Amino acid sequence: MLGQVISSLRKVMCATVVVGAWLAGSHGALAETRLALVIGESAYRSVTPLPNPANDATQISKLLTDAGFDVTAAADLSQKQINEKVGDFAAKIATRGPDTVALVFYAGHGLQIDGENFLVPVDVDPKREADIPLQAVRLNDILNTLNSVPSRMRIVLLDACRNNPFPAISQTAGRGLAMVDTKSGAPGTFVSFSTSPGSEAEDGDGSDSPYTTALLTAVRTPGIPIEQAFKQVRLAVNKATDGRQTPWDSSSLTEDFSFIAGTGARASAPSMPKIENAKRSVDDWRRLLQGRPVEAAHEMIVEDGSLEAYQAFVGLFAQSKFSTEAHQWILRMQRMLAWNEAVTLNTAASYRAFLAEYPDSDLAATARKLAERMRYKTSLMPAVVASAASAQTANTCTPPASPSLPKKAELSPTNQAPVQATTPQVVVKKVDIVREPDPPVRTVVVPVRPLQPVVMQRAPRPVGVRMGLAGGIGGPVGFVGRRRF
């Protein structure tokens, strides 16, 4: 009897140890604080409402809650309310500390104006392009707000690339959203778009958009790294839309992250630094795809999402059913890369270069407008610089008048002949004040310290003494330099 009791106690203790180890492993995998802000914009007032964003936000909120996030959900917000929610969310991150994983999910309309991305609140009613920056919310403002507080990781998911619903600006604004390069900002950021830059996403026929539907499935795999999960999202959306829509992301993450913790040793292991894979060239991809079935090769390039992969595919499978889709993707990506470069440089020359290469694109009107704007700013610069230089010249370039030497006569100790001291001649040179566009010539007077009278002594054979302005026997006459303003 006693032996049975002891045996039962041992089994209970073993089960307790196993459960405790599992809980410890799960707690270790979710050691960081997880915060999420989920926004769904459906009830637009000036255009047709969108049915799916509200559903998308509800489903994503449930997913993130299951994944250990403290979720703040909001729907149908005005511009002021979105800004307030983002500000409160940043304050919440600051209170939780630098080990926080911060996630923002937005579903609704999004636009690009003058190369900038905007999220569209439900209360906007634009009559012209200039109204969007005043009524909408800049994506860069949200990213900068998240970067302003210390956190471990920032994840931004945007189901916001639907068609432009505003007729007043639909013909002048570019399609879809512009590129976002997270590698040019703070490390530890991941941004995902529901489709590739410069293209539009579909709202879908079901209760959720194709992007959210794929996201709800891919990230539930226990232990799957976030970047691998979004490769699956790309492939699933591409298949669901017959190639019309392919999600796109940009990552500067420095460590792996999983929405759902894995099991076993992987769950209890600490998060390891992310190892960057070497970028494959077109030749590398050509060797990798050579000999594979066309469907398998197509899935590989869609998951990878790099320009080099698509270029290799088009070269190898030019006659396949996926060739047109891949070719259009390449052209669109090259155009958006060129546009991103033009906007980054932000000069008249950069916009003219874009127009020379893509004169008939949907971004041509914006490029012409920005080129003219930059040209006008450039034409004003010489006048501004000249005015500033004139003020500086008036204050700093007019030297004080040189004191005159007293006309004093002294007698030589030998013959008492008067020797009149003379005033040294000041050499004046004309100096070019460099300005744009035409450098004028200005006269600069160089102040010279007066020399003391020189006493000439008689000798059997007179010897002449030559003094230079620099103060030395046989020294240089002087030097006047150039100044650039």
Residue 200 to residue 191: CA distance in whole angstroms: 17
Question: What is the pTM assigned to this prediction?
Answer: 0.72
Listing DSSP states for 213-257 in one string gives: HHHHHHTTSTT--HHHHHHHHHHHHHHHTTTS---EEEE--SB--
* Highest-pLDDT range among 30-44, 261-275, 308-322, 457-471: 308-322
Give the Cβ contact number of residue 255 at 10 Å. 15
- Does the residue 459 lie in any domain? no
Q: Residue 123 belongs to a domain with what CATH number?
A: 3.40.50.1460
Asked if 92 and 190 sit in the same domain, the reply is yes
pLDDT per residue over 361-372, tens digit each? 999 999 999 999
User: Looking at the structure, do residues 183 and 86 belong to the same domain, yes or no?
Assistant: yes
Lowest mean per-residue pLDDT among 183-187, 327-331, 412-416: 412-416
Q: Cα 129 to the chain's mean position, in Å?
A: 22
Whether residue 295 lies inside any domain: the answer is: no
Give dist(CA 119, CA 136) in Å, integer. 6
CA angle 312, 314, 317 (to 5 degrees): 105
Segment 231-245 shows an average pLDDT of 95
The answer to whether 102 and 153 have CB atoms below 8 angstroms apart is: yes
pLDDT of residue 208: 86
Reduced to 3 DSSP states, what percent helix, strand and coil does the chain have, rounded to the nearest 5? 40, 15, 45
Say whether both 254 and 354 belong to one domain.
Answer: no
What is the Cα gyration radius of the chain?
Answer: 37
How many structural domains are present in the chain?
Answer: 2
pLDDT averaged over every residue in the chain: 78
Domain ends where: 214, 248, 276? Answer: 276
Among 276, 298, 332, residue at a domain's last position: 276
Contact between 453 and 410 (Cβ < 8 Å): yes
Q: Are residues 271 and 354 in the same domain?
A: no
Distances from the Cα of 231 to the Cα of 115, 224, 260, 284, 347, angstroms: 26, 11, 16, 19, 35
Alpha carbons 355 and 357: distance in angstroms, whole number: 5
CA 254 to CA 272: how far, in whole Å? Answer: 9
Q: CB 363: neighbour CB atoms within 10 A?
A: 26
Q: How large is the average pLDDT for residues 57-79?
A: 97
- Type of residue found at 87: G
Identify the CA nearest to 111 among candidates 168, 68, 55: 168
409 part of a folded domain: no
What are 189's strand-pairing partners? 154
CA dist 152 and 148 (Å) reads: 12
Rank 198-202, 335-339, 446-450 by mean pLDDT and report only the highest.
335-339
Confidence of residue 382 (pLDDT cuts 50, 70, 90): low
Is 374 found in the same domain as 265? no
Element (H, E) at 159: strand 153-159
Which of 60-64, 373-377, 400-404 shows the lowest mean pLDDT across its residues?
Answer: 400-404
Nearest CA to 115 out of 372, 362, 381, 356 is that of 362
Cα separation, 41 vs 120, whole angstroms: 8
Burial label, 407 (beta-carbon count in 10 A; 0-12, 13-18, 19+):
exposed
Q: What's the pLDDT at 28?
A: 40
Q: Which domain holds residue 59?
A: 31-276
